């Protein structure tokens, strides 16, 4: 029942959030799905990638257009921004509302987790459209090359981010210490976070910031994020397969596969904690691991390059642990054992305890790939039930009570369409 209801909510959202038009600033047409009509009217990179995956179950023309629009924002140097503000009429108000720095007037200067390669693979698999693949593969490869060249930490070999929202996990309590805000489960965390972000962005804005600004040297916020690196390593292995499919050269495919394995190995070397059996981010300014236990600590179970014993410990000691992440409506973005755990959205700040459908989606595939089939099915069923419990798709949900929070008609919660379909399909190479 909840599968039918959650799929109906997802279809409504994907219809309601569809945006098409022509951007004078960018001088091109656009055709994408916004994350939420009221709160997020533009194109956001990792949201859009999830939307395209959901759209493979509804409208493959739109799935292809979604990614072509997104990749139309890649710069000649290969940078793909987190936000693409196509709509000329909405841009002025939005730049006043959001804490963003724009690049050439219509793109953010920040990155998002590179989910786009996984989305390209999924859309190609759903459509078999080789011509489309030949068009979208070069900008996707360019972006991954840009990340390698401009965002690799010399010491660890992992990708680095220069502000918390580049991980997409904006107000996660794991960043509180680095931002100098008090780590709490109530009170005005939301306001404190915005203040800290404003200071960071102001500090970065002089001299004028470009996507390639040398921010590492500023030592304000330099971070190896486990989620970002897991998504990156996963994307590299998708690209290796896509390059082979497109009949491009085998050496490129092998190099991409090797880069993916190297990220997995670096996560094991620098982020894996043998004592607690989980992965931790690295705060490169403080020069230490960040030990706040969040859902991103679980994500590397997705990667084949993470050895089986480590993945089993993450799953059995943490993901399936009822005191931490296996709550009534899993998976909370922060472990229930953390003092900052905010399951009822009291702080009004995101990624501080609520369950998120995109993280559940990754963890569902992680469980399946590691052979935890019954647990994966339970997670898919509970995720669909969460989405069915509200009158529209919501940005995030209460892990104790299933209450919907944040933006309404929220795009990536439509990934329930993929979960509903997945439970009946065979596991293929690359989920
Ligand atoms: C919030 C989220 C970010 C997302 C954006 C649009 O800023 O933290 O991950 O991309 O909203 O949904």
Ligand 1 atom nearest 82 alpha carbon: 10
Calculate Rg over the CA atoms of the chain.
Answer: 20
Question: Which residue among 35, 70, 359 is best mutated to probe the pocket of ligand 1, counting the most ligand atoms within 8 A of its Cβ?
Answer: 35
Kindly state if the Cβ of 170 falls inside 6 Å of ligand 1: yes
Kindly state if the Cβ of 168 falls inside 6 Å of ligand 1: yes
E-state strands within 215-315:
223-224, 272-273, 278-279, 281-283, 288-290
Maximum pairwise Cα distance, the chain: 56
CB 223 within 8 Å of CB 282? yes
Residue minimizing CA distance to atom 12 of ligand 1: 35
Ordered per-residue pLDDT tens for the chain, 431 residues: 689 999 999 999 999 999 999 999 999 999 999 999 999 999 999 999 999 999 999 999 999 999 999 999 999 999 999 999 999 999 887 777 656 677 788 999 999 999 999 999 999 999 999 999 999 999 999 999 999 999 999 999 999 999 999 999 999 999 999 999 998 888 899 999 999 999 999 999 888 899 999 999 999 999 999 999 999 999 999 999 999 999 878 999 999 999 999 999 999 999 999 999 999 999 999 999 999 999 999 999 999 999 999 999 999 999 999 999 999 999 999 999 999 999 999 999 999 999 999 999 999 999 999 999 999 999 999 999 999 999 999 999 999 999 999 999 999 999 999 999 997 766 555 57
The helix or strand, by DSSP H or E, that contains position 294, with its residue range, turns out to be none
Kindly state if the Cβ of 47 falls inside 6 Å of ligand 1: yes
Per-residue tokens: 78? 């290969």
Q: How far is the CA of 44 from the centre of ligand 1 (A)?
A: 7
pLDDT computed for residue 1 by the predictor: 66
Q: How far is the CA of 112 from the centre of ligand 1 (A)?
A: 9
Kindly state if the Cβ of 34 falls inside 6 Å of ligand 1: no
Q: Identify any residues that bridge with 290 across adjacent strands, giving them in sequence order.
A: 281
Kindly state if the Cβ of 40 falls inside 6 Å of ligand 1: yes
Residue minimizing CA distance to atom 4 of ligand 1: 168
E-state strands within 239-336:
272-273, 278-279, 281-283, 288-290
Kindly state if the Cβ of 44 falls inside 6 Å of ligand 1: yes
pLDDT computed for residue 177 by the predictor: 97
Cis, bond preceding 207 (omega within 30 deg of 0): yes
Angle, nearest 10°, between helix axes 357-369 and 373-388? 160
Q: How far is the CA of 307 from the centre of ligand 1 (A)?
A: 31
Q: How far is the CA of 168 from the centre of ligand 1 (A)?
A: 6
CB 229 within 8 Å of CB 260? no
The span from the CA of 155 to the CA of 170, in Å, is: 25
Kindly state if the Cβ of 225 falls inside 6 Å of ligand 1: no
Q: How far is the CA of 82 from the centre of ligand 1 (A)?
A: 9
Work out the angle at residue 98's Cα, subtended by the Cα atoms of residues 296 and 23, and round it to the nearest 5 degrees: 105
pLDDT computed for residue 95 by the predictor: 75
CB 227 within 8 Å of CB 296? yes
């Amino acid at each position: 029942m909840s599968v039918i209801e959650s799929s109906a909510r997802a279809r409504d959202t994907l219809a309601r959030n569809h945006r098409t038009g022509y951007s004078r600033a960018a001088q091109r047409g656009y055709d994408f799905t916004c994350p939420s009509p009221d709160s997020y009217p533009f194109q956001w990179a990792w949201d859009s990638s999830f939307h395209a995956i959901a759209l493979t179950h509804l409208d493959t023309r739109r799935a292809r257009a979604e990614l072509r629009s997104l990749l139309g924002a890649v710069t000649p140097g290969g940078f793909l921004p987190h936000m693409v503000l196509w709509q000329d009429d909405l841009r002025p108000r939005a730049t006043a509302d959001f804490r963003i720095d724009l690049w050439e007037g219509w793109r953010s200067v920040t990155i998002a987790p590179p989910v786009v390669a996984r989305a390209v693979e999924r859309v190609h698999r759903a459509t078999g459209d080789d011509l489309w693949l030949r068009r979208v593969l070069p900008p996707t490869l360019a972006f991954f090359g840009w990340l390698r060249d401009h965002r690799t930490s010399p010491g660890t070999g992992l990708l680095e981010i220069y502000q918390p929202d580049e991980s997409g996990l904006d107000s996660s309590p794991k960043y509180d210490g680095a931002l100098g805000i008090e780590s709490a489960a109530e009170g005005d965390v939301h306001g404190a976070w915005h203040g800290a972000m404003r200071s960071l962005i102001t500090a970065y804005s002089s001299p004028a910031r470009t996507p390639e600004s040398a921010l590492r040297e500023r030592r304000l916020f330099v971070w190896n994020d486990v989620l970002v690196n897991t998504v990156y390593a996963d994307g590299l292995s998708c690209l290796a397969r896509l390059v082979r499919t497109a009949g491009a050269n085998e050496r490129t495919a092998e190099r991409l596969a090797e880069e993916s394995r190297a990220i997995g190995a670096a996560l094991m070397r620098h982020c894996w904690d043998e004592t607690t059996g989980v992965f931790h981010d690295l705060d490169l300014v403080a020069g230490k691991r960040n030990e706040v236990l969040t859902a991103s600590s679980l994500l590397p179970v997705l990667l084949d390059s993470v050895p089986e014993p480590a993945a089993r410990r993450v799953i059995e000691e943490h993901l399936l642990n009822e005191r931490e992440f296996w709550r009534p409506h899993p998976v909370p973005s922060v472990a229930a054992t953390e003092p900052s755990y905010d399951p009822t959205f009291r702080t009004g700040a995101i990624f501080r305890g609520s369950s998120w459908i995109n993280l559940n989606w990754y963890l569902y595939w992680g469980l399946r790939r590691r052979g935890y089939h019954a647990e994966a099915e339970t997670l898919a069923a509970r995720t669909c039930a969460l989405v069915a419990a509200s009158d529209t798709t919501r940005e995030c949900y209460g892990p104790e009570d299933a209450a919907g929070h944040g933006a309404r008609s929220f795009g990536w919660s439509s990934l329930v369409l993929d979960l509903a379909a997945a439970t009946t399909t065979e596991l293929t190479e690359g989920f």
